[in-house]
Amino acid sequence: MLKYTVEVSGMMCGMCESHTNDAIRKAFPVKKVTSSRAKSLTEILTENELDQELLRKTISELGYDVGEIKKENYQKKGFLGLF
C-alpha cells in the first residue's frame, strides 16, 4: 500500500475538499482519499503507483495550487494485541 501526501492550497470550504476527493476518485483507483483545507493537504491511499503529473493536473484543473507530492510506503496500523 502507498500513501501520497499532496500539498494543495486554495481549498476554502468542505465542498472544496469534496470536489478534490471526487476528482481524484474518478481519475485513479484509490482505496481512500481525504482532503483538509486547514492543513492544505490531500492524502491518498492506493495499492498502485499514481502518475504524479496526472495527479497534479487533476487537482490543478479544479483551480487549486499543487505543491509538493510525497510518496511513502504505508502499512495499516492494527490493534497492538493488548488483550
The predicted-structure confidence for 5-50, as pLDDT tens digits, reads as follows 999 999 999 999 999 999 999 999 999 999 999 999 999 999 999 9
Q: Which residues contact 10 (CB under 8 A, 6 or more apart)?
A: 16, 63, 64, 65
- Residue 83: pLDDT band with limits 50, 70, 90: very low
CB of 1 closer than 8 Å to CB of 71: no
pTM for the full predicted model: 0.89
Mean pLDDT, range 65-73, rounded to an integer: 97
The model's pLDDT over 56-68, given as tens digits with 9 standing for 90+, comes to 999 999 999 999 9
